[in-house]
Chain A
Amino acid sequence: MAEVFFYLLAALAIGGGVGMVTRKNPVGSLLFLVLTLASLAGIFVLLDAHFLAAIQVVVYAGAIMVLFLFVIMLLNLGHDYQPDIRGGLWMVMGFALSGLLGGILAQRFGGGGELTGALLPVAGGPGAVRALVEEHNAVGAIAGPMFRDYLVPFEVTSVLLLVAIVGAIVLAKRRI
């Protein structure tokens, strides 16, 4: 059951990604990305990251993408678009580079079971997170480490956000 959902969502995510890259219309690209993000949220649920799934939709789909949409509309790129996909040489380069990258990743992760096995010694074993979620709940599981072990980084991100807000306002308000 879960596998079926996983493959379905994976197909949607990949389809969304391909759609995003190939769409001429920025709004179309954005909507395809939203599709990918939503599919990823679904995969997060399958991977026992319920809280992240919700946050993924709230933050990514609900806030960041709306911000993008807002900007696209603010720039009023209208309904007629210049095709902005680069020509032959760039395409070849793109295919080559991404192919190379894909190759490396495939080589690195290609082993599947063995690879996970190679990584696993570090870990608490499969199902560790699920147990954690069972014990505390979906939010509590992630809240614990975040507000205990990673409190300083958490506070630093708030400073980062504040800086980003100030920076964004300054940039957007001034003519350069």
Chain B
Amino acid sequence: MMLAESLVLSAILFVIGTFGVLVRRNAIIIFLCIELQLNAVNLAFVALSQYVGIEGQVFVFFVMTVAAAEAAVGLALIIAIFRHYETVNVDQFNLLRS
């Protein structure tokens, strides 16, 4: 049920996430956009799992786990970078040029 609509919604959200990653400079918001992309994919998995089988949901579970790990490491990185540069603007993370 609602398969096509769910997939379209998933696509829209993924596109929004992609757009956000491209146009935002704030590293934290870029991270948030990536989370949105992951969620869009999750939605696709769940939608399809209705027809394909419960394994899709299991995979979503793993995606969430990875997302949690990614968030922890990513945020730790942002904190570390922020300590060094005093900013979270990705344009200023020019490690080689500092």
Set A68, A71, A146, A160: member contacting B69, Cβ < 8 A: A160
A-contacting residues, B52-69, CB 8 Å: 52-55, 57-58, 60-62, 64-69
CB pair B73 A129 closer than 8 Å: no
B40-83 residues at the A interface, CB under 8 angstroms:
42-43, 46-55, 57-58, 60-62, 64-73, 75-83
Cα distance, A102 to B58, chains bound together (Å)? 27
Q: How far is the CA of A99 from the CA of B52 in the complex (A)?
A: 29
| Interface of A: prevailing SS | helix
B35 partner residues in chain A, CB cutoff 8 A? 33, 60, 64
Contact A175 B73, beta carbon cutoff 8 Å: no
Given A90-B23, A109-B4, also A123-B53 (CB < 8 A) = yes
Complex Cα distance, B12 from A66, in Å, reads 25
Give the most central of A49, A85, A150: most B CB within 10 Å: A49
- Most chain B CB neighbours (cut-off 10 Å) among A33, A85, A95: A33
- Would B23 and A86 count as touching, CB distance under 8 A? yes
Residue of B nearest to A23 (CB): B29
Q: How far is the CB of A30 from chain B (nearest CB, A)?
A: 6
Residues A171 and B50 in contact in the complex (CB < 8 Å), given A98-B18, A176-B84: no
Contact B46 A44 (CB under 8 A): yes
Do residues B88 and A75 form an inter-chain contact, with CB atoms below 8 A?
yes
Does the CB pair B4–A112 fall under 8 Å?
yes
- B54 — which chain A residues lie within 8 A by C-beta? 128-129, 132, 141-142, 144-145
Are B69 and A161 in contact (CB-based, < 8 A)? yes
**Per a CB cutoff under 8 Å, which of A97, A99, A171 touches B80?**
A171
CB neighbours (8 Å) of A80 from chain B are: none
- CB distance B76 to A169 under 8 Å? yes
Taking CB atoms, residues of chain A closer than 8 Å to B61 are 52, 55, 142, 146
Q: Which residues of B contact A20 (CB under 8 A)?
A: 16, 20, 29, 32-33, 36
Q: Tell me the bound Cα distance from A31 to B20 in angstroms.
A: 15
CB-CB nearest in chain A for B52: A123
Q: Which of B1-40 contact A (CB under 8 A)?
A: 1-9, 11-20, 22-26, 28-29, 31-33, 35-36, 39
